C-alpha cells in the first residue's frame, strides 16, 4: 500500500469513527466512546450531573410519577437517556426505553388520546420482550381494538374499520395515516375517561406479568425518547407547538400510569412557555442538557476545560487524530461548533473529506465552517436585529409573543445556543457572529474552492 492509499485509509477510518448515533454507556464498546464529563464536568459541584440527580430522584420516589427530560438539539439527549436507564437498572429497577418516532408522527398536532394509545402500545411491546412473550403486544392491540369498537362504536361508516383492521391501523395509522389519526382524535374527544380507565387496566396487567416473571416487587420506569422532536414545520409548526403545550398543561394527570414512573423527553421551549408545569406534575428538578461549556460564562472567551473535553471525545473515537488534523485547527472547529457535538462531528467529517486533496488545514477548516454557515443564513433584518440583542446581552429579547416564537425557532435551528454554566445565558452560533454583527454590510464568505 503506497502513502496516498494509507492516508486515504486513515481518513476514512477517522470519518467512520464519527458516526452520529446515540451511545449506550451500558454497552462495552459504546462505553469506550462515551465521555461523561461532556455534561457533568470534571469536578463534584452541586447539581453538576443532572442525569445522576434524576436517577436518584426516581429511586427515592414511589408510585406514579412523571419526570421531564429536556435539552437542546445536538446535546446528546438520547445517549444520556440510555445512561439514565443504566443507572436505574443498577438500582434494581425494570426500565423500558421507547423511541417516540416509532409510534407518533412528530410533525403533526398531538392529543392526549393518541399519546395514551401510543404509550400503552409501546409499553406492551417492551414488556413482551422483557417477559419473552411474543404475543403480548398483539393481545393488547386486540383488546384495544375490541374496546374501541364496542365501547365507543368505532365500527361505523365514519371510521370504516372492523376490529381486525382497526388493530392493524392502531399501530401504523397513528404514525403514518393523518386521516385515521384525526378521526380517532375526534371520536375519542368525549371519551377520554373510559379510555383512560381501560388503559389503566391494561397497564395493571402488564405490571402484574412483569412482577410474576421477576418474582419481586420491582419499580418499573418507562423512558420516552425523541418526544422533544414534536415541532412540525412551515405553517403547521405553530399548531404542533400549541398542541404540545395543551397536552402537558391541561392533561397533566393523564400523562401518568398507575405504579409506573415515566420520563418524557420534552422540547426545551415547553418549560419556558409553561414554567408552572413541573409543579403541576409534582416532579423534582428537571433534567436539562444544554450546549457544552466551551466558553466562559456570558463571554466568547474559550473555556480550556470544555475544549479539552472535546479533544478527549475525539481521542476516544480516533486515537491518532493529531496525525490527521493539527491541534490548533481542531480547537478552531471545536469553538466554531459552539459546543454542539452534532455540529462538531459534521465539521470534522467535512474536514476529513476535503483533507484527501492535501489542501492547507486552515483552508479546509474555513471550507467546513462555510458549509455549515450556509444552512443558517437567509435572515431578515428584523430577525438579525433580534440576534444582535442576543449577541450583545446574552439574553433573548422577549417583548412579544412573536419574539418568543422566534426564540423557539432560533433554538431549534441552532442560530442561538443556550448555555448553563451558572445562570442560563445565550449567544448566537459562532458561525453567525460576524454575519449578525455586520448590519447587512457583508455576507458570509463563500466556501473555499
Q: What is the pLDDT of residues 100-147, one digit of tens each?
A: 999 988 888 889 998 999 999 999 999 999 999 888 888 888 888 888
Distance, in Å, from the CA atom of 241 to the CA atom of 268, rounded to the nearest integer, reads 12
* Domain ranges in the chain with CATH number 3.40.50: 50-289
Q: Which residues contact 297 (CB under 8 A, 6 or more apart)?
A: 419, 421, 422, 425
The predicted pLDDT at position 190 comes to: 82
pLDDT tens string 331-344: 999 999 999 999 99
The predicted pLDDT at position 415 comes to: 94
Q: What is the 3-state secondary structure (H, E, C) of the chain?
A: CCHHHHHHHHHHHHHHHCCCCCCCCCCHHHHHHCCCHHHHCCCCCCCCCHHHHHHHHHHHCCCCEEEEEEECCCCCHHHHHHHHHHHHHHCCCEEEEEEHHHCCCCCCCCCHHHHHHHHHHHHHHHHHHHCCCCCHHHHHHHHHHHHHHHHCCCCCCCCCCCHHHHHHHHHHHHHHCHHHHHHHHHHHCCCHHHHHHHHHHHHHHHHHHHHHHHCCCCCEEEEEECHHHCCCCCCHHHHHHHHHHHHHHHCHHHHCCCCEEEEEEECHHHHHHCCCHHHHHCCCCCEEECCCCCECCCCCCECHHHHHHHHHHHHHHCCCHHHCCCHHHHHHHHHHHCCCHHHHHHHHHHHHHHHCCCCCHHHHHHHHHHHHHHHHCCCCHHHHHHHHHHHHHCCCCCCCHHHHHHHHHHHHHCCEEEECCCCCEEEECHHHHHHHHCCCCCCCCCCCC
Cα-to-chain-centroid distance, residue 56: 21
Distance, in Å, from the CA atom of 51 to the CA atom of 83, rounded to the nearest integer, reads 8
The predicted pLDDT at position 314 comes to: 98
CA angle 235, 240, 241 (to 5 degrees): 105
Instruction: List, as own/partner pairs, every contact residues 371-375 make where C-beta atoms lie below 8 angstroms and the sequence separation is at least 24, other chains included.
Output: 371/447, 372/336, 372/343, 372/346, 372/347, 372/431, 373/431, 373/432, 373/435, 373/444, 374/444, 374/447
Q: Which residues contact 347 (CB under 8 A, 6 or more apart)?
A: 333, 336, 337, 365, 368, 369, 372
Provide the residue-wise pLDDT of the chain in tens; the chain has 449 residues: 688 889 999 999 999 999 989 999 999 999 999 998 888 654 456 557 889 999 999 999 988 889 999 888 778 899 999 999 999 999 999 999 999 999 988 888 889 998 999 999 999 999 999 999 888 888 888 888 888 877 665 545 455 566 667 777 787 888 888 888 888 888 888 889 999 999 999 999 999 999 999 888 889 999 999 988 887 665 566 788 788 888 888 888 888 898 999 999 988 878 777 777 777 776 666 788 888 999 999 999 999 999 999 999 999 999 999 999 999 999 999 999 999 999 999 999 999 999 998 889 999 999 999 999 988 888 888 899 999 999 999 999 988 878 888 888 898 889 999 998 878 899 999 999 999 998 654 444 444 43
Dihedral-angle region of residue 392 (phi above 0 means left; psi in -120 to 50 means alpha; beta otherwise): alpha
CA angle 32, 35, 38 (to 5 degrees): 170
Q: How far is CA 381 from CA 235, 304, 313, in A?
A: 21, 35, 38
The predicted pLDDT at position 449 comes to: 34
Q: Which residues contact 382 (CB under 8 A, 6 or more apart)?
A: none
The predicted pLDDT at position 216 comes to: 86
> Nine-digit cell at 276?
408552572
The predicted pLDDT at position 400 comes to: 84
CB 131 within 8 A of CB 205: no
Domain 50-289 coded CATH 3.30.70: no
Distance, in Å, from the CA atom of 111 to the CA atom of 373, rounded to the nearest integer, reads 36
Amino acid at each position: 500500500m503506497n502513502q496516498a492509499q494509507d492516508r486515504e485509509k486513515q481518513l476514512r477510518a477517522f470519518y467512520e469513527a464519527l458516526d452520529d448515533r446515540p451511545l449506550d454507556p451500558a454497552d462495552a464498546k459504546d462505553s469506550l466512546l462515551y465521555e461523561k464529563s461532556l455534561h457533568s464536568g470534571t469536578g463534584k459541584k452541586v447539581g453538576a450531573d443532572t442525569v445522576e440527580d434524576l436517577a436518584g430522584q426516581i429511586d427515592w420516589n414511589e408510585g406514579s410519577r412523571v419526570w421531564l427530560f429536556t435539552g437542546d438539539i445536538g446535546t446528546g439527549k438520547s445517549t444520556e437517556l440510555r445512561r439514565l436507564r443504566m443507572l436505574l437498572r443498577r438500582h434494581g429497577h425494570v426500565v423500558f426505553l421507547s423511541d417516540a418516532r416509532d409510534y407518533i408522527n412528530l410533525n403533526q398536532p398531538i392529543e392526549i388520546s393518541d399519546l395514551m394509545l401510543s404509550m400503552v402500545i409501546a409499553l406492551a411491546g417492551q414488556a413482551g420482550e422483557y417477559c419473552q412473550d411474543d404475543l403480548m403486544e398483539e393481545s393488547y392491540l386486540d383488546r384495544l381494538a375490541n374496546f374501541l369498537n364496542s365501547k365507543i362504536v368505532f365500527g361505523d361508516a365514519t371510521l370504516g374499520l372492523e376490529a381486525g383492521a382497526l388493530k392493524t391501523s392502531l399501530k401504523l395509522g397513528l404514525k403514518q395515516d393523518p386521516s385515521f389519526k384525526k378521526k380517532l382524535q375526534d371520536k375519542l374527544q368525549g371519551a377520554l375517561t373510559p379510555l383512560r380507565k381501560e388503559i389503566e387496566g391494561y397497564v395493571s396487567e402488564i405490571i402484574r406479568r412483569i412482577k410474576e416473571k421477576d418474582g419481586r416487587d420491582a419499580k418499573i420506569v418507562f423512558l420516552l425518547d425523541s418526544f422533544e422532536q414534536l415541532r412540525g414545520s412551515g405553517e403547521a409548526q405553530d399548531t404542533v407547538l400549541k398542541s404540545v403545550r395543551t397536552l402537558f398543561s391541561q392533561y397533566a394527570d393523564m400523562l401518568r400510569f398507575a405504579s409506573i414512573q415515566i420520563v418524557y423527553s420534552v422540547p426545551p421551549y415547553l418549560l419556558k412557555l409553561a414554567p408552572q408545569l413541573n409543579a403541576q406534575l409534582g416532579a423534582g428538578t428537571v433534567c436539562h442538557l444544554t450546549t457544552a461549556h466551551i466558553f466562559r460564562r456570558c463571554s466568547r472567551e474559550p473555556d480550556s476545560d470544555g475544549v479539552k473535553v472535546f479533544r478527549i471525545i475525539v481521542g476516544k473515537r480516533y486515537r491518532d487524530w493529531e496525525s490527521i488534523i493539527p491541534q490548533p485547527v481542531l480547537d478552531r472547529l471545536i469553538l466554531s461548533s459552539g459546543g454542539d457535538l452534532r455540529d462538531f462531528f459534521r465539521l470534522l467529517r467535512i474536514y476529513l473529506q476535503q483533507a484527501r486533496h492535501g489542501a492547507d488545514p486552515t483552508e479546509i477548516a474555513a471550507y467546513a465552517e462555510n458549509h455549515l454557515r450556509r444552512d443558517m443564513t437567509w435572515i431578515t433584518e428584523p430577525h438579525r436585529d433580534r440576534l444582535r440583542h442576543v449577541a450583545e446581552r446574552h439574553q433573548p429579547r422577549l417583548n412579544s409573543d412573536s419574539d418568543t416564537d422566534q426564540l423557539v425557532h432560533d433554538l431549534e435551528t441552532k442560530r442561538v445556543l443556550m448555555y448553563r454554566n451558572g445562570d442560563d445565558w445565550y449567544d448566537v452560533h459562532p458561525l453567525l457572529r460576524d454575519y449578525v454583527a455586520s448590519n447587512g454590510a457583508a455576507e458570509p464568505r463563500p466556501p473555499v474552492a
